């Protein structure tokens, strides 16, 4: 039970190699008594907290790296631990009041945290429920999720969603975009398998902030033999992505996609013609009046990997709308 006379939360941390994980939690009450769970460590961080309405979590596939608590008035505390570069979720951040907490541990650190299902039911929209990398999409970004795995499946395991803001905040990079390159896993017969990575080309290196845009997905030349397809985009001339169709295989999930622009140009990223007759096409629904500036995907873990699902994010910008 989470006590009502809460005064402070202490998070115990411990480094494992180059990564620091949460190993224990201490709830300090008004009378200076405390409730403790997990392990204690000399490295710890604390925040003042009178009411626990929710918490944000940063976690990798091995454990929790940081916690952020939501107090009365929806006030967020500083992070305890370091969330930098770690997938994050607001799955437990939109609750009215947390009365119970459940914890999971391996032999040395915290690997899970949860609340009763009845308390979670009201907060399970897609953006809050998913685990996002490098950060959770903020206000003003409209996430299309018709094509993605149902929310309850996303919540059942460690399944981070990666996304890239290729158009930049409010589309500031769209006029600099000159191409989108897709790398496929090469398979026998010369055809491509899973999409491994999508990356972007701009008019010059200084068109975007250094390190602001990472490729979507991972391509490792030492592990993969890649097949590359490039779709040229004339961003400086006003050419923008305004539609995305996705092909979902009946057996393997996301198979490929086709991009369209407002100049009636398109590109199908599919070196394997057999895929075209083995699934269902879906068009990403984009909020009226907004422009596509982001792609997101769920990465399939393990070898050979690839993008398991695919979707778009749009926002209001000063360029042609998605439906034009």
DSSP per-residue codes, 135-183:
----TT-EE--TTSPPHHHHTTS--EEEEE-TT-GGGTTGGGEEEEEEE
Q: Which residues contact 99 (CB under 8 A, 6 or more apart)?
A: 1, 2, 116, 119
Count of residues in the chain: 324
The rounded distance, in Å, linking the Cα atoms of 280 and 249 is 7
Q: How confident is the model at residue 289 (pLDDT cuts 50, 70, 90)?
A: very high
Give 128's DSSP letter.
H
> In the prediction, which pLDDT does 206 show?
76
Dihedral angle computed from the Cα positions of residues 89, 94, 100 and 105, in that order, rounded to the nearest 10 degrees: 0
Alpha helices in 204-316 (DSSP H): none
Work out the mean pLDDT of the chain and round it to a whole number.
85
Cβ atoms 136, 143 nearer than 8 A: no
Question: How much is the pLDDT for 254?
Answer: 83
pLDDT of residue 158: 80
Q: Scanning the structure block, which residue is given the tokens 């945290």?
A: 113
**14-25 residue pLDDT tens:** 999 999 999 999
Percentage of residues in the chain with pLDDT exceeding 70? 85
pLDDT of residue 324: 46
Q: Is the pLDDT of residue 220 over 50?
A: yes
Name the 3-class secondary structure at 111: strand
Task: Classify 206 as helix, strand or coil.
Answer: helix
What are residue 126's phi and psi, to 5 degrees?
-60, -50
Rounded to whole angstroms, the Cα distance separating 9 from 252 reads 44
d(CA 144, CA 312): 6
Percent of the chain with pLDDT over 90: 51
Domains of the chain with CATH codes: 6-123 (2.100.10.30), 164-315 (2.100.10.30)
Q: Dihedral of the CA atoms 115, 120, 125, 131 (nearest 10)?
A: 10
pTM of the entire structure?
0.86
Per residue in 315-324, pLDDT tens? Answer: 999 755 554 4
Supply the pLDDT for residue 319: 54
Contact 198, 309 (CB under 8 A): no
Q: Which residue has the higher pLDDT, 37 or 225?
A: 37
Summarize pLDDT for 117-172 with one digit per residue, the tens: 766 655 567 888 889 998 999 989 999 886 665 555 555 678 889 999 999 999 99
pLDDT at 184 over 80: yes
The helix/strand/coil state of 125 is coil
């Amino acid at each position: 039970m989470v006590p009502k006379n809460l005064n402070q939360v202490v998070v115990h941390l411990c480094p494992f190699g180059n990564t620091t994980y949460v190993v224990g939690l201490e709830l300090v009450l008004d009378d200076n008594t405390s409730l403790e769970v997990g392990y204690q460590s000399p490295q710890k961080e604390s925040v003042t907290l009178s009411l626990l309405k929710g918490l944000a979590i940063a976690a990798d596939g091995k454990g929790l790296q940081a916690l952020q608590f939501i107090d009365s008035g929806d006030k967020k505390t500083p992070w305890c631990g370091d969330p930098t570069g770690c997938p994050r979720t607001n799955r437990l951040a939109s609750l009215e009041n947390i009365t119970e907490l459940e914890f999971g541990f391996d032999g040395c650190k915290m690997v899970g945290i949860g609340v009763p299902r009845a308390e979670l039911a009201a907060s399970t929209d897609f953006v809050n429920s998913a685990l996002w990398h490098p950060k959770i999409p903020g206000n003003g970004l409209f996430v299309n999720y018709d094509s993605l795995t149902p929310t309850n499946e996303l919540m059942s395991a460690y399944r981070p969603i990666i996304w890239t803001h290729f158009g930049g905040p409010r589309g500031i990079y769209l006029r600099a975009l000159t191409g989108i390159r897709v790398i496929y896993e090469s398979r026998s017969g010369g055809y491509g398998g899973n999409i491994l990575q999508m990356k972007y080309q701009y008019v010059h290196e200084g068109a975007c902030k250094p390190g602001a845009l990472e490729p979507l997905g991972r391509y490792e030349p030492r592990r993969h033999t890649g097949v590359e397809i490039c779709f040229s985009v004339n961003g400086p001339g006003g050419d923008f992505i305004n539609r995305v169709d996705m092909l979902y295989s009946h057996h393997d999930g996301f198979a490929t996609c086709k991009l369209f622009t407002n100049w009636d140009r398109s590109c199908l990223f599919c070196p394997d013609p057999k895929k075209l007759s083995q699934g269902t096409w879906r068009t990403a629904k984009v909020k009226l009046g907004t422009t596509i500036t982001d792609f997101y995907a769920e990465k399939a873990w393990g070898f050979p990997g690839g993008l398991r699902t695919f979707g778009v994010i749009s926002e209001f910008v000063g360029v042609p709308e998605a439906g034009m």
